[in-house]
């Protein structure tokens, strides 16, 4: 990394663009510094910075030129448009705090057919409801594939409420419907079997 004396060659002076320079360095750290807390979701996944922005002599000036011509302000955050591609002028934008907060609440990463992808992006790509899929994953114990591919026969929240009203676990009802072929009413109204521990007397009376 360049030392302080190296800064003087930039057209965009560091002293006048400290926040932008800090964000520039943070972007590079996510991609190339293995000790960075965010490296696992960036550099380790193959996310890189384009040659134009990573160049040791002209990278910051190129990054600053693009940023200042694309609405940069100190309170904005750098965002990649396609989360599976690296940092480049074609794949980046500056977003405000509200959009950033929204993205953070939806940044749940999943593995789907060999691809590591944000759940929100996967739902958008497949045209399925994010909240429904999120509920299936976190409350119904479905796999990612099942959660996004199994048709929604009804609102999953309503389904969960029915299970709660009948005091029966969602997973039990789901298994009865999918694995045993029961209809929903039977799956909900049939009490779960409880396995009773065999006592010493039980074992003594057993013909086996």
Residues 88, 176: Cα–Cα separation, whole Å: 50
Which helix (H) or strand (E) is 42 found in, with range? none
Q: What is the pLDDT of residue 8?
A: 55
pLDDT at res. 88: 97
Q: Closest Cα to residue 114, out of 81, 144, 149?
A: 144
Instruction: Count other Cβ atoms within 10 Å, centred on residue 74.
Output: 10
Alpha-carbon distance 55 to 60, whole Å? 8
For residue 199, the model assigns a pLDDT of 46
The span from the CA of 101 to the CA of 70, in Å, is 21
pLDDT for the residue 28: 96
Each of the 208 residues of the chain gets a pLDDT tens digit; together they read 444 344 556 788 888 899 999 999 999 999 999 999 889 889 998 999 999 999 988 999 999 999 999 999 998 989 898 888 999 999 999 987 555 555 554 568 888 888 888 888 888 888 888 888 887 887 677 788 888 887 765 455 567 777 877 888 877 887 888 788 888 888 888 987 754 444 444 445 544 4
pLDDT single digits (tens) 87-114: 999 999 998 755 555 555 456 888 888 8
Q: What is the pLDDT of residue 204?
A: 52
Place of tokens 């011509």: 69
Question: How far is the C-alpha of 43 from the C-alpha of 50, rounded, in Å?
Answer: 13
């Amino acid at each position: 990394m360049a030392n302080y004396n190296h800064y003087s060659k930039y057209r965009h002076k560091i002293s006048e663009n400290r926040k932008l320079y800090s964000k520039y360095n943070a972007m590079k750290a996510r991609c190339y510094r293995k000790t960075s807390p965010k490296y696992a979701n960036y550099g380790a996944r193959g996310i890189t910075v384009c040659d134009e922005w990573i160049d040791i002599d002209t990278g910051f000036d190129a990054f600053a030129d693009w940023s200042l011509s694309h609405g940069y302000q100190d309170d904005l955050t750098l965002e990649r448009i396609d989360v599976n591609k690296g940092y480049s002028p074609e794949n980046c934008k500056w977003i405000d705090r509200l959009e950033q907060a929204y993205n953070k609440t939806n940044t749940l990463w999943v593995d789907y057919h060999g691809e590591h992808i944000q759940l929100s992006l996967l739902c958008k790509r497949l045209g399925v409801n994010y909240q429904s899929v999120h509920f299936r994953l976190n409350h119904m114990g479905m796999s990612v594939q099942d959660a996004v591919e199994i048709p929604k026969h009804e609102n999953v929240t309503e389904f969960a409420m029915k299970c709660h009203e009948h005091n029966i676990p969602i997973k039990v009802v789901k298994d009865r419907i999918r694995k045993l072929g029961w209809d929903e009413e039977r799956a909900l109204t049939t009490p779960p079997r409880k396995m009773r521990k065999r006592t010493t007397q039980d074992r003594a009376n057993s013909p086996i």
